[in-house]
Structure formats: structure tokens, C-alpha cells
Amino acid sequence: MSQIIEGVTGKTVMECEQAIKNNDTSKLQNLNDNVIKHLNNDEYYNDVNDLINKINNDNVFKNKFINNVKEHGLVIEAPSFSQINIKNIVKNSKNLRETIFIKKECLQYIKDKMKVDIPFPMQDIEIKNIFCAPIYTMRLHKIAKDVLTARDLGKYKFITKQPLKGKANEGGSRLGQMEAEALIGHGCTKALKELFTVKSDCLKEKSNLIEQLITEGKYNIDKNIGIEGGTRKVVQTLVEFLKD
């Protein structure tokens, strides 16, 4: 049910976003009056009205706003669904039902995957009056390829050099996005460097780490380890993330 509500809301947002990317900000008022107004947050509604007035009266600000939407997309914030006036949002939404088109190649692929001998349409088909809407569940500003991860010691796959999943397979544990940002926020630069290099998939230095721990009982990370030192993509991603 929540995804249907999110889809109805998201469709109006998507329509507005596409218009802004074509340098047309007039749809913002429609978004504010038909969606944001019914989120039961008067302060948010008034803030968007102030934003619209500033866009209409300041061309420099307007261009910055349009460029920002082109780069990052348009996202609105909403409280829990229990506070939303769903009836009015649905009432003011347009084009919720559409015609979907399925190509025969797609149908053939489905039939092959199902491996069943039943009658199957073998031509392009159209299905009318279908509820269609964009869904972004828990949308993040960072897309998947920018999510930073690192691993400690453990078994890993031969081809990808990434650890096996799960403790049962003795796989390495994961340092996720939030943990990395917490370390960044506390200035733990040495810990981050170790986690994203010798404890990730930088195999040459990982071997050096193990050897030093066995022979000397401690590890001194090489100061030259970095992008120039030949580490993996994860370090480059980290640097780009910090730049942003």
C-alpha cells in the first residue's frame, strides 16, 4: 500500500523534474499545490512558495536551481504516510493509468525462462488502463556505484577478490557507507586508509600486512599507499566522495 502512495506522489514529482530539466519551472507551483500542500506540513509548503518566488524574481538563482535538479534530480520529503492527506493527493494526480507495451522478444524470453509448454502470445501486445508510477524506495543522493565498502581479513572470491558472504563461509565483514561516514566525521584518517586499502582488495599490501603481523606482531602501513601506489578503485571512489 505504501508503494502505491509513493508512486502517486512520485509521478507528480517526476513530471515536475522533467519540466525543470527542460528549463521550465512553472510545474513547481503545481507540485506544491497538489502534493506538498497535502503533506500536512505548512512550514514546508510555505518554504517551497518562497523558493518559487525567488526563482521567478532572480534569474541567477533560477539557473542554479535548474542545474542542481539536472545533476541531482528533484526530491521531496514527506512525513509518515499516516499524516498525509492521501485522498486529496490522489484526487489531484493526473495520468495514473497508462497503456503498457510488451514486445514479442520479451514474451519469448519469459517463455524460454519458464520452460513450460503452454499457449503464449507471440506478437507485440498492449495492455490498457494499467496503474503506472515511478518508485524510489529509501532514495539516496548517492547511487549504488558510489557506495563505499571495505572488508577485513577472510575468505574471498578468486575472480572478484571480494569476500564470501556470511560467517558460515568465513567471509570478511563489511564496512558500510554509514560506518565510513562516521569515521570521516571523527577524522579517523589512518583507520579509513587501512580499511580501504590493505583490508580491502589491495592484495599485495594485504599479504604485507599478514607477514608483518606474524613476524613483528604489529603493522606499519606504507605511507605511499594511495591512488599513486596502485590501490583498487575503492580508494579513488573514496577520494571523489570526499571532494563532493
Confidence (pLDDT) at 219: 77
Domain ranges within the chain, ordered by starting residue: 2-92, 97-131, 144-243
Query: Cα separations (Å) of 208 from 16, 216, 217?
Result: 54, 11, 12
Whether the Cβ atoms of residue 92 and residue 11 lie closer than 8 Å to each other: no
> What is the structure's pLDDT at 123?
84
| Three cell numbers, residue 205 | 599490501
Count Cα atoms within 13 angstroms, Cβ side, for 125.
11
pLDDT (tens digit per residue) in 141-151:
444 445 555 55
* DSSP assignments along 115-171, one per residue: T--S----S-EEEEEEE-----TT--SS-GGG---EE-SSBB-TTT-PBPSSGGGTB
Q: Over the stretch 163-175, which tens digit does the pLDDT of each residue have?
A: 666 656 666 666 7
pLDDT in tens, 73-117: 888 877 666 677 878 888 887 777 888 888 888 888 877 777 766
pLDDT band for position 239 (50/70/90)?
low
Interval 217-244 mean pLDDT: 62
Residue 208 or residue 243, greater confidence:
208
